[in-house]
Chains A and B, each alone.
Chain A
Amino acid sequence: MNYKQIIAQKVASHIPQYSIINLGIGIPTLVPDYLGDSECYFHTENGMLGVSELKEEQLDPQLVNAGKLPIGEAIGASYFHSADSFAMIRGGHIDIAILGALQVDSKGRIANWAIPGKDIVGVGGAMDLLEGAKTIIVTMLHTSKDGDKKLLDECSFPITSERTADLIITERATFKWSKSGYELIEVTDGYTLEDIKESTGLQYTVSDQLVKESAL
């Protein structure tokens, strides 16, 4: 498995059956591959509940997800206009949003819509999802290609929302928000607690379970 698949598989393990899920572009789109028989329903903010994997015979240029990629229509699917779609999001009717981020910080805030020094010309549905989804799962690489930290004490990029992200899942580790800060709850095989500490700028505690395991 490549790092993207590792992340997608870990995300899938946190998803209860019958969840209503909005998937961001990139790694999140791989998550359904790892849900097995678990029945979930996928929402796309451009106006559909019941997104399914594209089957060749369903290919239709007017049936796309928010990334404008062709999708399929699941049994029980429905279509609606953009204001209803965002009422579902903002109104708290989406169980889980799985999205990518450029940075996350100790306060649980994420930055995923703009880069300083570049034009701020697109936001799409990112801010609405952060405001309204009941659970936010962030998928991202632990560091940049150059090894720069992306899990920081404070985001240096413009934040997307003041809302805290519930789970941060990288190819190396999983952090869970609990009350006032992140807790490291899982480390990928091949990495040590020390590796995570060195590559992570945000403040976190280590779960009792991991402390016990590392003492073995």
Chain B
Amino acid sequence: MRNKVITAKEAADKFTSGMTVMVGGFGLIGSPLTVLKALEEKEVTDLTVISNNVGEEGIGLGIILQQGKIGTAIGSYFTSNREAVRMYNENKLQLQLLPQGTLSEAIRAGGAGIPAFYTSTSAGTKLAEGKEQKVFYGKTYVLQKSLKADIAIIKAHKADEMGNLTYYKTARNFNPLMATAAKTVIVEVDEIVPAGGLDPEAVITPHLFIDHIVQSKATLLEGRRVEYEL
């Protein structure tokens, strides 16, 4: 069996400038906080980040945003990190806004080998401006290209040593989708169990999607605080 377990630092070392990176999580919930913390020490610039949000100010993705390592962010809700809005206004950050359902479907399509799809969401609104549109059955649909990445960093609850994954409550969100849509997929998990330690019926992400496993050293606390045991 191939050994997939690496350290957070080894995960961070896989990043190079200009890469497109998917980062799991709905805000900080289900976000790979240990790997993001390790990226603080990694010299890298001009990342394109695909993530629903860009973390909170100085936490999660907010760490590398603050360091100026992100050039473009593609997501659905940047309002939750005021720093992202400020940097956008200062022209230090490009933003691409997609409706959340379009964002999640674009990632699913990216992972499933589908180059683009039509959705009625956003038709007739500002977010459809400049996009190709087509009428099906009398209704207008907007063409959305799928999304892929060089690296995805995701968070799951448990991994077996092979890389089969289970998730935890609403920390699942975008993670199983991003697991399918990047060349290299790194999962941070609360617990690594031996092969055979997960009920096959409970596995949400099969191991073929996973390249590397990192033991999480971060705990999300109440009030959006994070505790690290580094």
Contact = CB atoms under 8 A, between A and B. Distances in A.
A124 B104 contact: no
Contacts of A81: 104, 172-177, 204
B221 interface: yes
Interface residues of B, number: 52
A160 B100 CA distance: 13
Contacts of B126: 114, 120, 158
B66 interface: no
Contact of A82 (B169, B177, B222): B177
Nearest to A80: B172
B76 A124 contact: yes
Nearest to B112: A83
Interface residues of A, number: 42
Nearest to B167: A79
A160 B177 CA distance: 26
Given A81-B177, A122-B97, A125-B101, A47 B170 contact: yes
Contact of A127 (B84, B127, B220): B127
Interface string A66-79: 00101001000001
B170 A162 contact: no
Interface stretch (B6-14, B40-48, B117-125, B130-138): B117-125
Contacts of A73: 169
B34 interface: no
A126 B99 contact: yes
B17 interface: no
Contact of B101 (A64, A86, A122, A161): A86
A160 B125 contact: yes
B88 interface: yes
A86 B71 CA distance: 28
B64 interface: no
A121 B95 contact: yes
A44 interface: yes
A70 B27 CA distance: 13
Nearest to A111: B125
Interface of B: 26-27, 29-30, 52, 76-80, 84-85, 88-89, 95, 97-105, 107-108, 119-127, 140, 167-177, 204, 220-222, 224
Interface of A: 44-48, 59-64, 68, 70, 73, 79-83, 85-87, 89-90, 114, 119-128, 131-132, 158-162
Nearest first, the 10 A-B pairs at minimum CB distance are A86-B101, A122-B79, A128-B101, A82-B104, A162-B124, A83-B108, A83-B104, A127-B99, A122-B77, A121-B78
